[in-house]
């Protein structure tokens, strides 16, 4: 094969292989929100309304016995359901079954515009959280709003698919202190 044909073949293979890369649209949305909606100045996180929410996440569940665990993909969905006001997030922290801090999903406070949402995915292969994993989220707002915090778990066992949700619950009203 002559050098021209070899160069053409290499270029063709690069184009074909690069077009096969799967892009995760949710990751792109998350990155856009983190880039555009990060609160840039280092002001103190103080809002008239401030709360802490606990969201249970099941990254695995028991199947038949305590010795058989089934891995799940879990999604934390944070939705600002206010059509007028922004939702400010100070932290989105993930904890394992023993209550040990695992990771922070935001480095600086961010905000969600009215009706904007963001999701964080715990992949099926990520087993560090265990069956009692959870998120703690500190949030604030200028007025009383009612954001929606949900955990969505999905899995497939054989030919059976299943999904279930959990709801976040307020554990601390920080604006009362």
Is-above-0.85 flag for pTM? Answer: no
Sequence-ordered strand ranges (E) for the chain = 49-56, 60-63, 65-71, 73-79, 87-95, 101-104, 110-112, 117-122, 134-141, 148-157, 160-167, 169-173
As a whole-number percent, the residues of the chain with pLDDT over 90 amount to: 58
Q: Assess contact for 47 and 141: CB atoms under 8 A.
A: yes
116-149 residue pLDDT tens: 999 999 999 998 998 899 999 999 999 999 999 9
| Contact in structure between 121 and 26 (CB atoms under 8 Å) | yes
User: 29 pLDDT exceeds 60?
Assistant: no
Q: Tell me how crowded residue 53 is: count the other CB atoms within 10 A of its CB.
A: 19
Q: Which domains does the chain have, with CATH numbers?
A: 23-39+48-176 (2.60.290.11)
């Amino acid at each position: 094969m002559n050098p021209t044909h070899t160069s053409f073949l290499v270029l063709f293979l690069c184009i074909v292989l690069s077009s096969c890369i799967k892009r995760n649209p949710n990751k792109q949305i998350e990155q856009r929100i983190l880039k555009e909606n990060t609160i840039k100045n280092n002001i103190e996180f103080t809002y008239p309304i401030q709360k802490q929410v606990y969201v249970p996440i099941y990254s695995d569940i028991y199947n038949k016995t305590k010795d058989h665990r089934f891995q799940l993909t879990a999604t934390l969905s944070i939705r600002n359901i206010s059509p007028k006001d922004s939702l400010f997030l100070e932290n989105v922290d993930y904890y394992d079954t023993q209550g040990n801090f695992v990771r922070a999903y935001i480095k600086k406070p961010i905000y969600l515009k009215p009706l904007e949402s963001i999701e964080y995915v715990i992949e099926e292969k990520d087993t560090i959280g265990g069956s009692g994993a959870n998120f703690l989220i500190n949030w604030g707002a200028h007025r009383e709003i009612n954001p929606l915090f949900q955990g969505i778990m999905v899995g497939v066992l054989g030919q059976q698919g299943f999904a279930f949700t959990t709801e976040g619950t307020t554990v601390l009203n920080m604006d009362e202190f």
